[in-house]
Structure 1
Amino acid sequence: MSSNLDRFKEDLTKLLRDAVKIEQSFMHEVYGEEYEAAVLKSCEGNEKAAKEHMDALPKFNASYQAWYSESLALMKQLLPDRVADFIRLYEKPKGRKDISFENYRIEDALQGLRITRYGHEIVADFKSALPHLKQQIAMVQALKGRFESSLYDIRQLVQADLLDSEIDTARELLKHKFMRASGAVAGVVLEKHLLEVSINHNIKASKKHPTIADLNDGLKNAGVIETAQWPFHQHLADIRNLCDHNKQKEPTAEQVGDLIDGVSKVTKTVF
């Protein structure tokens, strides 16, 4: 079974490969026929080869959105200090009143926003977002160095591997109808992960031995998870408590299955 480190490397390789096509697609959007002429020239006048290149380009809007989401998830795991910078290159600045070349973002380009002055002078348009896209791609490329640097801390990756193994154990227990044991193992995974996330964000626990509910409250209050995420974590905690403490009511296979799937999702999306 491949480790999380191997999976991250595979994900990064794919993102970098897709980034080349996405940047080329963006260039085509910006320069149109001029870009097509440049492609034809690079193909030494071979129209068939040039057409194959153009046909292979993805639609920028759809392909970028998927690439951005996947890149952001990997950035949160491997380079959390740069996440805010990565997002800032995409999102419109909060409180922005006037749009200029300096505060035009990729999100504006995706909406086809074009700002003119005096009816003809272009202030900012699709082309204005090109430097931001290039910076984002450079930041994703920088992730490669995280795998090669001797300073890279693999603690979180090792932790993720261990949690994956425990989730597999919970699934195997459920398969053999050991409902309570399965739910208990999944609950421990959730508790371990939320505690690890709290430590990573320097959130001090309110108790010496915090529960899932305590950790969940701390993460919400610190803005690490959104308010809408809080009840989902609490729902998982309720199923865990049913497996651990409530001896008068038996957990169902569906409840324990939901717990395992939910915990697996949380460990992959909450950092």
Structure 2
Amino acid sequence: MASNIDRYKSDLDKLLKLGKDLFYTMQNSVFPKETIEHLKSTMKSDEEVAEYIKQLPNFKTTYQRWYSESIVLIKQILPDRLQDFIKYYEKPKGRKLLEFENYTIEDYLQGNFRNSSYTNATSVSVSAAIPQFQQQLSILRSIKGRFESTLFDIRQLVHADFLDSELAVAKELLKHKFARAAGAVAGVVLEKHLFQVISDRKIAIKKNPSINDLNEALKKSGVIDTPQWRSIQLLGDLRNKCSHSKASEPTAEDVEDLIAGVDKTIKTVF
């Protein structure tokens, strides 16, 4: 079975490939002649260039998916560059005048530009988004170097592999009708993961915290939003139902929901 590291690498390769295609889509829309000449220098024939340009994705319909998936990966592997990545997309708050330096990909998607004939300032065309997207690509490429660096801290990825293995045990127990035991194991996985997130983010927490304590601390610190908080709260209730002998017997559906919810949490809350 592929490890989390392998999955991250595979996801990264796909995003880098799509990012390269999106870059050429952007270049070709603004500088078509220059783009074709550049591609001719890297490809074997004019037919190959024409075919490549033909299959390029639509930037406006594809970028948002690429951006969203890239954010998830950067947040997990290179969190210190996340805000930089977002900055190249989002229009700065309080911007008074559209300039080359503050032009963003969001402007590009909305077709924003400034014609100098209407102001005393220099004009700003949609081409100003190209270097912004190049910066985003550079941040994404730096993740590859992080994987290959001996300084890369794989603790979180190993931790995720470990939790996946424990969750597989819960699924196997449920398969053999041990619903309460399966739910208890899934609950332990949830608790371990939330505690690890708290520890990684250096959030203060009391000794021997419950899932509810961890959930409240994460919400208070802004790590999770209200829907995630409610979801984890429900998972905690299901876990308690499985772990306390005096509680009503959990159903197979209860435990299936618990396992699915824990699986989603360990892959989206970090």
Give the TM-score normalised by structure 1: 0.91
CA contact (8 A) 1:173 1:182 kept: yes
1:139 deviation in Å? 0.9
Partner of 1:237: 236
Count residues with an aligned counterpart: 269
Question: Kindly, what percent of the aligned residue pairs are identical?
Answer: 51
Q: For each residue in 1:118-156, what CA deviation from the matched residue of structure 2 results, as whole angstroms up to 9, or x when unmatched?
A: 448873342111111101111111111112211111111
1:100 deviation in Å? 2.4
Letter in 1 for 2:69: E
**How has the CA–CA distance of structure 1 residues 106 and 11 changed in structure 2, closer, same or farther, with 3 Å as cutoff?**
same
Partner of 1:194: 194
1:99 deviation in Å? 2.8
Letter in 1 for 2:262: V
1:25 and 2:28 equivalent? no
Partner of 2:64: 65
Partner of 1:150: 150
Q: For each residue in 1:30-76, what CA deviation from the matched residue of structure 2 results, as whole angstroms up to 9, or x when unmatched?
A: 224553465467668x5533321111211112222222122111111
Partner of 2:124: 124
1:179 and 2:179 equivalent? yes
Structure 1: gaps (5+ residues):
none
1:204 and 2:204 equivalent? yes
Q: For each residue in 1:188-232, what CA deviation from the matched residue of structure 2 results, as whole angstroms up to 9, or x when unmatched?
A: 111111111111111011x20011111111111111112232111
Partner of 2:253: 254
- Rounded to whole Å, the distance in 2 between the matches of 1:125 and 1:259 is 51
Q: Secondary structure at the match of 1:250?
A: coil
- Rounded to whole Å, the distance in 1 between the matches of 2:230 and 2:154 is 31
Structure 2: gaps (5+ residues):
none
1:5 and 2:8 equivalent? no
- Rounded to whole Å, the distance in 1 between the matches of 2:41 and 2:153 is 46
Give the TM-score normalised by structure 2: 0.91
Partner of 1:99: 98
1:84 deviation in Å? 1.1
CA contact (8 A) 1:114 1:122 kept: no
- Rounded to whole Å, the distance in 2 between the matches of 1:268 and 1:112 is 35
**How has the CA–CA distance of structure 1 residues 264 and 58 changed in structure 2, closer, same or farther, with 3 Å as cutoff?**
same
Letter in 2 for 1:109: Y
In angstroms, what is the RMSD of aligned CA positions? 2.1
